[in-house]
Amino acid sequence: MRFTRLRLVGFKSFVDASDFVIEPGLTGVVGPNGCGKSNLVEALRWVMGESSYKNMRASGMDDVIFSGSGNRPARNTAEVMLAIDNSARTAPAAFNDADMLEVTRRIEREAGSVYRINGREVRARDVQLLFADASTGARSPAMVGQGRIGELISAKPQARRAILEEAAGISGLYSRRNEAETR
Ligand code: ATP
Ligand code: MG
């Protein structure tokens, strides 16, 4: 599962549609302070199903919507699209009918988020499971934020186990078992 494109519209400082092609190999994002580097990483985490606005440096999920600047009015919606190369057909069965998956999350002020995979509306859980199975996702240890290394070192054994299980890609299985048991 390889990310090939990230498109942002109205997300944080990216007021206009911004399209980024993600080439194979290592990608670096460089730029002066405040140009939106961290916003870009947050967009990636957001489209993968981040549910905590605190993890988005926000005081409410609507804060991810462009809030206006000197000469630009605020927007009422934000959208992030992540395109995934699925030619190896490793996506969960429900979404494994295409070589390319486009995962979209759109938020409207005071109306919450809607997720889509290849145009079909899905639950946040479907998106979260899609990435959990690929050992990535909003909470994945593949996304190392400031202070996270210190957290791993000082974590209690159970919390550390959760981090390692996420890295091993089995946390999606636990979620499904819990879901099955509560039905
Ligand atoms: P640094 O090098 O200091 O880490 P950075 O490139 O990571 O900087 P970001 O933190 O991604 O920068 O971007 C910060 C900018 O994004 C600030 O100018 C802030 O005002 C702007 N910003 C954040 N949220 C919004 C929003 N909802 N609407 C408009 N602008 C926003
Ligand atoms: Mg930053």
Q: Which residue's CA is the closest to the ligand 1 atom numbered 16?
A: 13
Per residue in 137-181, pLDDT tens?
A: 766 667 777 667 788 889 899 988 887 887 777 777 877 888 888
- Compute how many other C-beta atoms are within 10 angstroms of the C-beta atom of residue 12: 23
Centre of ligand 1 from the C-alpha of residue 134, in Å: 29
* Token duo for residue 115: 């997720």
Query: CA-to-CA distance for 49 and 45, rounded, in angstroms?
Result: 7
**Cα distances (angstroms) measured from residue 115 to each of 15, 82, 177:** 20, 11, 23
- Determine whether the annotation assigns residue 33 to a binding site: yes
Per residue in 62-116, pLDDT tens?
A: 999 999 999 999 999 999 999 999 998 888 888 888 999 999 999 999 999 999 9
| H/E segment holding residue 122 | strand 120-122
Query: CA-to-CA distance for 10 and 13, rounded, in angstroms?
Result: 7
Centre of ligand 2 from the C-alpha of residue 117, in Å: 29
- Determine whether the annotation assigns residue 147 to a binding site: no
Quick check: helix, strand or coil at residue 15?
coil
The sheet carrying 18-21 orders its strands as: 18-21, 2-9, 77-85, 100-108, 112-117, 120-122
* Token duo for residue 165: 């299980």
Identify which ligand lies nearest to the alpha carbon of 14. 1
Q: Which residue's CA is the closest to the ligand 1 atom numbered 23?
A: 12
Could you list which residues have their CB under 5 Å from ion ligand 2? 37-38
Centre of ligand 2 from the C-alpha of residue 37, in Å: 5
Is 31 a pocket residue for ligand 1 (Cβ < 6 Å)?
yes
Q: Which residue has the tokens 């639950």?
A: 123
Q: What is the ipTM of this complex?
A: 0.98
* Token duo for residue 121: 């509306």
Closest to 113 in 3D by CA, of 127, 100, 99, 102: 127
Task: Please report how the helices 124-133 and 171-182 are oriented relative to each other, as an axis angle in degrees rounded to 10.
Answer: 140
